Structure 1
């Protein structure tokens, strides 16, 4: 149980980067971008093929980010310059990326990285060189804990990379360009009246969004030691689930607060999935069903709670009127609104 939850926290942090990208497109730009399902695999495919070809894992990961940015920019161009519906432009790019990803992977449906050096193996090697590694190993062995220092190294790496992406997101959205992108999502006509180029802002925003998604795909590929052309199916739902869960728990507020909520939402989502898969009658093939149920719950439960609060508020108001005026007629009229 603990091992499964520990792994879900690691994966949740990595998927949190993808969730931040989904947040940028869906919440900031108000753009239903389905490119995510394709750009996630693009990031993994570019990183995997470069690592297999002998390139540095760091360089391969950076190249994956660039590939994701290009994919998102093309989606934005189709919408902004081609005047194609936002949903349709994302679908078209997602379909095109399936073939492009196959080409990148040499027409192979998957690429294993079991015998290759990745960012994860590099960080584990670095962790092993730390002076207190031997002490921690002895401590964990004595306590008979179900994890090793190397897994803590991967967790530390996941925390570091997601913090870097989060801080970059906070900084970027507070800049002049970032504020213009936020205004474009809120009121494009208003920002156009201020002589801002909304087309360029949308293209840039979608490029950065898919760059985050591709970065997450590249890291997940190196974490799992393989990339599959179908691994991106349903990524947009996972990203939306993370955003919705985070907002349901933390509510809406500043950008700093929301980005934390999105990352925490991704971790909670992975933990819920890990626990759900341990239920006897559920199987691995039910993961999409579990995801749908989680999203439905995240959407419906907050609404039900809010309706309950509103009813209690009206009831308290009715009692207050009764105590103040003692008039049954006014109370009855108030209760009729409940």
Structure 2
């Protein structure tokens, strides 16, 4: 694997680390299996690309992507909480609807933003390679978001959200509005995924309506790999493990695709993903049996 491919894998891993943080929030904290992310990721990319092409400031476009993702999460959580629809079904319905919404937002299947100003543009041309600039900028954003999320989850509001996911009945007995907590948590989760989509569009120079296919699997893989490598109960450590898991997952996929001995091609990406997730799920159990 070349250094260029390695840096590209790390950069993509950091972008999808935001997806991993969002998936951790919905799956682990709230115990709310949410497939909306497959739609909110391309929604964030579509909103950002459309606004940037329309002349809107890139930072405002990125914020709009976060809010758009949060609104997608609101629809899923509201349908589930207010009408009692199973969370998986509610998220699938939203995900399907978002495909049409994304087409409406862009007006076509994809939008190129090569040559447009992005949040990275001011950092180019200062003596660093473009690849290094993108990597450092995305790393700074991920660290800031992860730190903010850690502070939130250890605050009183965050503890109420965690209590809702751990035992909703007990949380309600303590006066926690569990429905509101679920809606807020799923909104935040999809907002982070929408932010990841915005960064993806700006670092890769395009937004595509199919960019979200398999996003939930990537997010789950990152969370599982991170939890396997760095088992912990401390929130800051768990969030750091999700980020690390996302980067390692991307490096592993790139290494598998780059290894000539395996004979894998770019079209085998989903196969490599499935095998890596399966290994992350099975190896801890095998390790426990061996050392039991």
The offset of 1:120, in angstroms, is 2.5
User: What are the residue-to-residue correspondences of 1:49-198 with 2, within 5 Å?
Assistant: 49-106=50-107, 108-125=108-125, 128=126, 133=127, 149-198=129-178
2: distance between equivalents of 1:225 and 1:306? 45
Secondary structure class of the residue paired with 1:196: coil
The offset of 1:6, in angstroms, is 1.1
Q: Unaligned 5+ residue runs, structure 1?
A: 134-147, 311-338
The offset of 1:123, in angstroms, is 2.5
| Residue of structure 2 equivalent to 1:282 | 264
1: distance between equivalents of 2:13 and 2:89? 29
1: distance between equivalents of 2:15 and 2:99? 22
From 238, 258, 283, the equivalent of 1:301 is 283
1: distance between equivalents of 2:264 and 2:118? 33
What are the Cα deviations for residues 17-66 of structure 1, in whole angstroms up to 9, with x where unaligned? 11100000000001110000000011000000000000111110000001
Runs of 4+ in 1 over 3 A off after TM superposition: none
| Residue of structure 2 equivalent to 1:235 | 215
Secondary structure class of the residue paired with 1:227: strand
What are the Cα deviations for residues 172-209 of structure 1, in whole angstroms up to 9, with x where unaligned? 10111110110110000000111211110000000000
- Aligned-residue CA RMSD (Å): 1.0
Secondary structure class of the residue paired with 1:60: helix
Q: Unaligned 5+ residue runs, structure 2?
A: none
The offset of 1:122, in angstroms, is 2.9
Give the number of the structure whose alpha-carbon radius of gyration is greater. Answer: 1
Secondary structure class of the residue paired with 2:56: coil
Which moved further from structure 2: 249-258 or 114-123? 114-123
TM-score with structure 2 length normalisation? 0.97
Aligned residues between the structures = 289
The offset of 1:155, in angstroms, is 1.5
| Residue of structure 1 equivalent to 2:183 | 203
Secondary structure class of the residue paired with 2:176: coil
Secondary structure class of the residue paired with 1:277: helix
2: distance between equivalents of 1:243 and 1:24? 10
Secondary structure class of the residue paired with 2:111: strand
2: distance between equivalents of 1:269 and 1:263? 10
| Residue of structure 1 equivalent to 2:253 | 273
The offset of 1:113, in angstroms, is 0.9
The offset of 1:279, in angstroms, is 2.6
What are the Cα deviations for residues 157-184 of structure 1, in whole angstroms up to 9, with x where unaligned? 0111001110111011011111011011
User: What are the residue-to-residue correspondences of 1:209-228 with 2, within 5 Å?
Assistant: 209-228=189-208
2: distance between equivalents of 1:75 and 1:60? 23
Secondary structure class of the residue paired with 2:124: helix
The offset of 1:154, in angstroms, is 1.4
TM-score with structure 1 length normalisation? 0.84
What are the Cα deviations for residues 199-247 of structure 1, in whole angstroms up to 9, with x where unaligned? 1000000000000000000001111100110010000000000000000
